[in-house]
Structure 1
Amino acid sequence: MSRRRDLGWLAAALLLLIGWDLAGADLAVVRWFGSPTGFAWRASWWTSGLMHEGGRWLAWAVLLTLVAGIWRPLPAFAGLAQRERVGWVLVTLAAVLLVPLLKRVSLTSCPWDLAEFGGMAQYVSHWRWGVGDGGPGRCFPSGHAAGAFAFLSGFFVLRPHGSVPARRWLAGVVLVGTLFGAAQLVRGAHYPSHTLWTAWFCWAVCLAGQALWQLHRPDLPR
């Protein structure tokens, strides 16, 4: 039942994202923060320093804590079997690595590269595969948001042990990922959909990881 519900959320989110792209909402939202001279918040302390650089260090700290927790878990995770803690780390790493791989083949440039914001690129939807926009590309999806949404893996690991801790973890990850995405949006580093697609890809990776885990543990709820 849980798997069907999870897949249902994934499918519903896909439809919403497709609708967002078809509506051309990305450029409309970015224009709220950009001007012909660029993005005023691009290099501010709270967006560039706290949310971007600080957020990167936070993601690394959480990941290293999970890795160390394979052998010496935090008290809150002591009830997890070691194989569960290993799976948590592996799925998180898979989500973290997927986004940069997608970015490497993306021809989509960042909003701050657009000509109307002082750059040289022209807006082209990231779904027009093979069509360049005249800029450097490699901006879709959001790698920074993956530093939060990759940890959606914890929801699936914690859920069999209780819905309350799993939901709290989920809420925390969504909150941090939203803050990361908002900071990158006002900086001109990413469109809203870049963050949303990152969350979608990470959720899909977590579902795939859960399915593989259940193949080896048929006793777990589905």
Structure 2
Amino acid sequence: MTTLPSHVPTVAHSASGLEAHFFVRHLWLPVACVLLASALLMGVGGDQWIADVLYRMEGGHWLLKDHWFTSGVIHRVGKWLSTAAGVGVLVLAIVAWCRPRLKVLRWPLTYLAASVALSTSLVSMLKSWTAMDCPWDLSRYGGTQAMIGLFESRHGIAASGCFPAGHASAGYAWVALYFCALALRPAWRFAGLFIGLAAGLIFGVAQQLRGAHFLSHDLWSLAVCWVSALALYCVMLQRPRRVLGLMLLTGNAA
């Protein structure tokens, strides 16, 4: 019968405390911020206030809806670039699994490819369920539809499926770089986070300027991408490392 070293309970307790702190910072605090921001944007009318300002700035119509830069470059080319980057990461992951010297990159790259795919897929699925309109569909902004809230019945009215924001998710999905760096080189984690936030912000703002989304649509895309990335990190990267650490402490590792 194997006896645990006397220091193991203390280490385990310390690890439990660190894990709780990790989830406060990476899950509960972000969720609280999203809910508070959502109350301001969707409950108090912040979404409409921002859209009103943009609509007036563009002359009372969505001037940038079909503009070559917002529609052609940021929307179309941006989507291609995000897809190409995802495919590139998947290829690198396959290469890492085939080459022993790249062993350390196997799970982080596999995680990154899986997280990007999961995040964008979840946003697409939610869009089909929520069935909310885009600003350009609403009579307030030159469309034909009345404003219907997220939890209000549509009574058979056709919808555009604009919530959460699909294009922004192609950028925000890359917040998974934060967790990828956390596993590989923690000092790089904020650089990874910046890349994901910057890409999502660029895609999201461009779509808002086109009248395709409200700010809350982008906010919830970010929330879905972040929680998806966190969940996969816990399953694919954090948990195996924790189990290995416990095995090393108890002397059961080979």
* TM-score after normalising by structure 2: 0.77
Structure 1 equivalent of residue 62 of structure 2: 39
Runs of 4+ in 1 over 4 A off after TM superposition: 132-135
Structure 2 equivalent of residue 23 of structure 1: 44
Letter of the structure 2 residue corresponding to residue 109 of structure 1:
D
Query: 1:117 is matched with which residue: 130, 134, 141?
Result: 141
Deviations 1:66-110 (A, max 9, x none): 01111346xxxx684312211221122111100010011122110
Alpha-carbon separation, structure 1, partners of 2:152 and 2:226: 23
**CA drift at 1:217:** 3.5
Structure 1 residues without counterparts, runs of 5 or longer: none
Contact 2:175 2:195 in 1 (8 A): no
Return the structure number with greater helix share. Answer: 2
Please list, as runs of the form range in 1=range in 2, the aligned pairs for 1:12-161 lying within 5 A after superposition: 12-20=32-40, 21-34=42-55, 38-72=61-95, 80-126=104-150, 128-131=151-154, 134-161=157-184
CA pair 14-133 structure 1, distance change in 2 beyond 3 A: farther
Q: Secondary structure at the match of 1:119?
A: coil
2:201 paired with 1:181: no
Letter of the structure 2 residue corresponding to residue 97 of structure 1:
S
Alpha-carbon separation, structure 2, partners of 1:99 and 1:216: 27
- Deviation larger for 139-148 or 116-125: 116-125
Letter of the structure 2 residue corresponding to residue 49 of structure 1:
G
Alignment size in residue pairs: 216
Alpha-carbon separation, structure 2, partners of 1:141 and 1:17: 15
Alpha-carbon separation, structure 1, partners of 2:49 and 2:37: 15
Contact 2:134 2:214 in 1 (8 A): yes
Percent of pairs with identical residues: 26
**CA drift at 1:132:** 5.7
Contact 2:74 2:203 in 1 (8 A): yes
Higher relative contact order (CA 8 A, sep 6+): 1
Alpha-carbon separation, structure 1, partners of 2:148 and 2:126: 17
**CA drift at 1:209:** 0.9
Contact 1:107 1:132 in 2 (8 A): no
Deviations 1:13-67 (A, max 9, x none): 2232332222211111111222696311111111111110111011012101101
The structure that has the greater radius of gyration is 2
**CA drift at 1:4:** 2.9
RMSD: 2.3
